[in-house]
Structure 1
């Protein structure tokens, strides 16, 4: 099925000039910095092609998660604790792994930590690290344009889940191919996961979350499959998607009022630290993705712990002086009220 778009676009994207402090003096990678020179093509929008396989699978997944909610009262306490542990692990695979480490290179991780993050990233099942990082860099470089994989200007549903239910806009594919992904290709952990992704998600996302409670403490197979497996997986997915949707629409903009991403505390709590989105799009290289460190930010606390253990290092941070200067220059003034 195809739906024909009726909008026409004849304007170029405009953005304030990006200053040196906004990029980060010690950065090598800049493909996650917004490109103000991109112009959306004139004429009618391309045909929207729905991927019915994804529609069916996502519908079945969410139906299964809903059934899992009804099974929570009959679940053992230890099974619920296991579900939360799987949620935290898989969420960290996205936030500390695919996002802050591999998409933005905001800190360095030693091999054992990179292996752990790749393993729990497979538990999250949100595309392999290489593809996730590529799409995320495109999201930053071409934010809120046709080249943004989950362009929030197309509405809440599209930016939340709709972008996964249809073919990508041609500009997403075209611009994505031009990104410098050499650092990802040079990372053996990333490429190993990519080559073995189907097996890794089968094992980490579905088999282990289900088998462990069934085998080790006698949970029913029904509960084990629907609660720590399907329900947990669906909650992680939607927590991540809310960063693309709600955090681009609801909240204040204390750092840059000229961009759509917002500071959204609810999303920050649900996505373990990823809801401080106006800050993040203003300073994408900051390892904390927030001005406030570990406050409401479990991912930052995890990275700090890894630094303490000697498994992470070189965490990039923005100086307080630079943050305040940016607030005064482009913020919406909301920082004055806390």
Structure 2
């Protein structure tokens, strides 16, 4: 006799897709499943009372004040060379790719496999982003997928834009986040010696990669005093890149198209696609979290630099076993839960236009800064 638990699991598998390909591990089925019925999506928990963590509020405030000063140092001070801003921007994108291709698509979703040199590089890039170590990042992200937009979601978008964007860092976590977080399977993440190394030496690695390397690179190439280099290449760069990352949790869960699964809150948001270098195909990503591209079409038909990076690594032999659902599987999902007309409207964009607009939006801060320098200083 089939037990109730097994029957429930079979029912859940049928809800995901008629046939899963490639075969998914049990924890991956959980990431693809609907909202867990044991978690209340909207009803407030009477045991939970919002508690502001003032230490974090003060830290965030100081970070943004420092970022404003850092922007002035590297961008608006006429005595500073224009390429100081370019260097800071480079480190921002370098660090972001460690999150996009590393902790997200590689370690959280196992969407592809990476050889040791690439895993080390991605670990270095991720460390520079200062978004917790890989192990903790994967725990929170898998929890986010399994209980998306419920009280167990660390950045539950149902609690509003500000909360899902950055407010979740300023209050104590909901008890459901702690309770469900302890159930997340992470043995596959911990099995990687690169992850264990980073977690063991995280503080010194952060001091070196997040702080020292960007600071001294700008100092060496521009001659700007170290104090100013730190605020420009580290504090401003860090705050700016955080907001781009946070938009995936906020805007991409509240605004846009639900073309693959209308029962899922995440949406396809073109602005977030551009700012996050390809992470804004979010309705698709929550429908098929194990797709290495985090989008249906990859980079050849739509703006997705993160996928381009992974494909380049695959050409070099550093990445392999790139996982991708079949077109048949995707179309069946759309027929059952999606919106084909919305999809056609969304992707009715010329690829050249998509990339031109994408890079303009992505590099908007650089373009804006150089325009300001030209207007007020008469030169870049």
Question: What TM-score do you get using the length of structure 2 for normalisation?
Answer: 0.81
Q: Check the 8 A contact 1:327/1:335 in 2, yes or no.
A: no
Which 4+ runs in 1 deviate beyond 4 A? none
1:91, 1:210 → 2: CA distance?
17
Q: 1:162 Cα deviation (Å)?
A: 1.0
Matches within 5 A, 1:105-254: 105-254=110-259
Q: Check the 8 A contact 2:119/2:194 in 1, yes or no.
A: yes
Which structure is higher in helix share?
A: 2
Q: 1:69 Cα deviation (Å)?
A: 2.5
Deviations 1:227-246, CA, capped at 9 Å, x for gaps: 22111111111111100000
SS in 2 for 1:168: coil
1:22, 1:244 → 2: CA distance?
29
Matched, 1:73 2:73: no
The match for 2:4 is none
Q: 1:217 Cα deviation (Å)?
A: 3.7
Matches within 5 A, 1:256-271: 256-271=261-276
2:181, 2:144 → 1: CA distance?
9
Deviations 1:100-123, CA, capped at 9 Å, x for gaps: 001000000000110111111110
The match for 1:314 is 321
Q: Check the 8 A contact 1:23/1:33 in 2, yes or no.
A: no
Q: 1:45 Cα deviation (Å)?
A: 4.9
Q: 1:78 Cα deviation (Å)?
A: 2.5
Question: Aligned to 1:300, which of 307, 312, 328?
Answer: 307
SS in 2 for 1:296: coil
Q: 1:68 Cα deviation (Å)?
A: 2.3
1:91, 1:24 → 2: CA distance?
29
- Larger Rg computed on CA atoms: 2
RMSD between aligned residues: 1.9
1:260, 1:17 → 2: CA distance?
20
SS in 2 for 1:18: helix
Of 228-237 and 321-330, the range deviating more from structure 2: 321-330
Of 130-139 and 323-332, the range deviating more from structure 2: 323-332
Q: 1:23 Cα deviation (Å)?
A: 5.1
Matched, 1:33 2:36: no
The match for 2:363 is none
Q: Give unpaired runs (5+ residues) of structure 1.
A: 1-14
Of 264-273 and 210-219, the range deviating more from structure 2: 210-219
Matched, 1:61 2:69: no
With over 3 angstroms needed to count, the CA separation of the structure-2 counterparts of 1:76 and 1:141, relative to structure 1, is: same
